[in-house]
Amino acid sequence: MQTIKSLGILGGTFDPIHYGHMVAAECVRDAFHLDRIIFVPAAWPPHKDPEGVLDSRHRFNMVELAVGDSPNFEVSSMELDRQGLSYTVETVASCQQLYPAAEIYFILGTDALLLINTWKELERLSKLCHFILVTRPGYELNRNDQRFREIPDYLWEKTLILPIPGLYISSSEIRQRVTEGKTIKYLVPEMVEKYIVENNLYQDEEGIHV
């Protein structure tokens, strides 16, 4: 068995997973020569209305389909198994236990960074992992933004910035497009598109929550 020495974690709601997530994961893997990327769907994302989020079983299944048999990608149900609110600090601590030899890199887009000050035990988290900040169209970092200024120095010290090809795709937009009967081909992996159709996901307005 391969010893994992470097591990990337991409947390998210994945409601549903799309090519923006996949490109972010792949570019980070490649740029930092990571042994593996784990996609971790959140059970109950602290920043979202749980009522509006699709059943975790479907979200997990879609990530599993997207990851397919890629040797470098994996999906973990650890946050779903834990239930309750999903905190990154607990996820990273669990990964550290599972892969004691690994240096951990937590991947996040610029929109997620702006919320990071609200995360649980941020200082402890910053001791457990590095952060890789990937660029995201529509969320350019504005140094005058108060939320940006409040990001503590100890976090910047652990953060690497990786510009990636910009894909102006969000799960919110995918849901909206499905509800409106528009195509999502080439925005999500083909197997995910098929899964959405077969399970009649995002058909009604209730599926839309931005």
- Give the interface with ligand ATP as residue ranges (CB under 6 A): 12-15, 20-21, 24, 108-109, 111-112, 134, 136, 167, 169-172
Residue 86: is it exposed, middle or buried by C-beta count within 10 angstroms (0-12/13-18/19+)? buried
Min dist. Cβ of residue 1 to ligand ATP (A): 29
Q: What are the start-end ranges of the E strands in 77-205?
A: 103-109, 130-134, 159-162
Min dist. Cβ of residue 2 to ligand ATP (A): 26
Residue of 183, 175, 184 whose CA lies nearest to 203? 175
Residue 205: is it exposed, middle or buried by C-beta count within 10 angstroms (0-12/13-18/19+)? exposed
Beta-bridge mates of residue 188: 185
For residue 132, give the 3-state DSSP assignment: strand
Min dist. Cβ of residue 98 to ligand ATP (A): 21
Min dist. Cβ of residue 179 to ligand ATP (A): 13
**Residue whose CB is less far from ligand ATP, 101 or 117:** 117
* Residue 48, φ and ψ in degrees, nearest 5: -125, 155
Measured between alpha carbons, how far is 77 from 91 in angstroms, rounded to an integer? 10
Residue of 163, 132, 156, 158 whose CA lies nearest to 34? 132
**Residue whose CB is less far from ligand ATP, 17 or 102:** 17
**Residue whose CB is less far from ligand ATP, 1 or 172:** 172
Min dist. Cβ of residue 149 to ligand ATP (A): 19
**Residue whose CB is less far from ligand ATP, 102 or 107:** 107
Residue of 106, 63, 13, 69 whose CA lies nearest to 192? 63
| Cβ-proximal residue to ligand ATP, closest one | 109
Min dist. Cβ of residue 61 to ligand ATP (A): 15
**Residue whose CB is less far from ligand ATP, 1 or 210:** 210
**Residue whose CB is less far from ligand ATP, 99 or 106:** 106
